[in-house]
Structure 1
Amino acid sequence: MLKLGLIGKGISRSQSARLHVLLGRMCGFDVTYDYLDSEKIADFDLIDQLTACANAGYAGVNVTHPYKTEARKMITPRKRLANALGAVNTVVFRDDGWRGDNTDYVGFMRGYRGKFGDQAPGMVLQMGAGGVGLAAAFGLHGLGADRILIHDKDADRGKTLVATLKDGGANAAFVGEADLSDAIRTADGLVNCTPVGMNQYPGSPFEARLLGGQKWVFDAVYTPVETAFVHSARKAGILVMTGFELFFFQGIEAFEVFSGTQIDGDAARIEYFNAYPEALTG
């Protein structure tokens, strides 16, 4: 039995359970995956909940919004994480202590390499500086991006991410509204880490008329998979990485950390789409 869970707020729509149960079945594990929603737990406290999970025999838990930053402050990170990356989304309970990881970060890089191979990111414009934006931006740095331009409607949040990236050794800058169109046109890659494009937030963060000269795009949104942004990019002849890749590979990375096994990503993808064909379209 491999006991896992997800800690977060308003997580009833998460698809993590079905992915982890499927991965467990592939590896011969009987997996349980519980949703530990702070909205449904009286007097919720993160450290208390983590302690309760450890005491109840959980192998580990995923941590999502809004607790990733808080988790990073109280848990020792694994060595593969950049020191400046101030968020944890995976916690493993071991006899010698708890360890934190950010599988959004490593999952983004794994997804990028799977779609684009050794193609360097080049100069990248990223929209959104929240939790996913933090992981994606550090992933871009890990992939060797020449320059990372950040835009966020909350300028202070965007500038904070830029400062964090610089602390981690990245070549980064904030782009304001006045310079945004030019930055979009001249970028090698475009990244959407905003909610725009989700079923409840329709639209695209990038105007279709500005697309065409870029080499690749990534949209973190995966419900639906084929967002307006993805559709416009494909129409413009640009290589695309959808949000499903991040969801899928961060989940695989987390399961590998929890279980100590290695997952064949291609085989897991076939199994997942056979079990959940609706995931192809979101």
Structure 2
Amino acid sequence: MPHDKDPEMNAPSRDDTVRLGLIGDNIAASQSPRLHELAGRLTGADVTYQRLIPPERGQDFEQVFEAARAGGFRGLNITYPYKERVVSLVSIPDPHVAALGACNTVLFTADGPQGYNTDWSGFMAGYRRVMGDAAPGIVCMVGAGGVGKAVAFGLLALGMTELRLVERDLSKAEALARALTAADPALKVSATTDVAAGTAGAAGLINCTPVGMVGYEGTPIPADLVRGAEWAFDAVYTPVETQFLRDAAAAGLRIISGYELFFYQGLHAYELFHGKPIAEDILREALTRL
């Protein structure tokens, strides 16, 4: 039954309360409310952050989005499977984000909703924290959806030399390959449905599918195909230690966990929502204490 008069969405709030939310499916375990409400306390802001799940509300994505806008929310995070769908509802100030075609952060402004992608900036920050200045090399990435687009464009900025996209929906991978080639004609990009072909000789292995998260158990890359690579990244952060990353660690790969993406995309989104920075080390330490 549709929630036309949702008591939470339309609840009155103090004039100085910053209302935020996350729209996505399967987000009951999301730690974003904890991050943003904690960051608010650290900076003296009164922040409320709600999980907004369209199927549970009996509404489609666009209805939930509009209800948040009309209800006085300052902004939203957008997650699976709506990061590409939201693009038609926002203006996108950053040409890099416009080129990748997916948004995970929306700021409601007087000029209308603006879309950003802190998965893109967050992935690059997380990569550099673990890998320093090391170039990604040849990368195999499983999944070409919203987060995959952000990570792929992040890899491009980090100096990736070749990308093999593994995707069941080959047309989706081919579309991302075309977007990447348009951004950098010198980049070598291929698309396949064959995980073994994609991983052969790759330095970096990446999961940008929901496989491995709570409710989607498993691994996108069999353990025997992980050996021989140098580093691995999993966009999944619930749980932080996925089967894919356990297999990668056992094979001696350097690990970039999904927590790094979660942390940095949240930190960058916080700065967009509030228009001011927050100290990275203070937020990271406070999150580990809770």
- Give the TM interval when normalised to the shorter protein: 0.7 to 0.9
Task: Identify the range of structure 1 (136-145 vs 155-164) with the bigger mean alpha-carbon deviation.
Answer: 155-164
2:57 aligned residue? 41
* Aligned: 1:18 with 2:18: no
What is the Cα deviation at residue 27 of structure 1?
1.1
Taking the aligned partners of 1:212 and 1:240, their CA distance within structure 2 comes to 13
Q: Which moved more, 1:182-191 or 1:108-117?
A: 182-191
Identity, % of aligned positions: 42
The 1:231–1:13 alpha-carbon spacing in structure 2 relative to 1, beyond 3 Å, is closer
Equivalent in 67, 86, 90 of residue 105 of structure 2: 90
The residue number in structure 2 matching 1:237 is 252
- Is this contact kept in 1: 2:19–2:48, CA < 8 A? yes
What is the SS of the residue equivalent to 2:245? Answer: helix
1:5 to 5, 21, 34: 21
Flag structure 1 segments of 5+ consecutive residues without an equivalent.
276-282
Cα distance in 2, alignment partners of residues 211 and 9 from structure 1: 29
In the alignment, does 2:138 pair up with 1:111? no
Match of 1:167 among 182, 187, 191: 182
1:111 and 1:246 in contact (8 A); partners too: yes
Change (3 A) 1:43 1:126: closer
Distance (Å, rounded) in 2 between the aligned partners of 1:222 and 1:13: 10
1:251 equivalenced with 2:266 (yes/no): yes
**TM-score between the two structures when normalised by the length of structure 2:** 0.85
- Superposed, 1:6-155 pairs within 5 Å as 6-44=22-60, 46=62, 49-79=64-94, 81-155=96-170
Write the distance in 1 (CA, Å) between the matches of 2:40 and 2:135.
Answer: 33
Q: Shift of the alpha carbon at 1:51?
A: 4.2
In structure 2, relative to structure 1, the CA distance for the partners of 1:30 and 1:144 (3 Å cut) is same
Give the secondary-structure state (helix, strand or coil) at the position aligned to 2:49. Answer: strand
Aligned length: 273
Tell me the residue number matched to 1:266: 281
Change in 2 beyond 3 A, CA 1:182/1:7 = closer
Unaligned runs of 5+ in 2: 1-16
CA distance 1:49–1:215, shift in 2 (3 Å): same
Q: Aligned match of 1:176 in 176, 192, 204?
A: 192
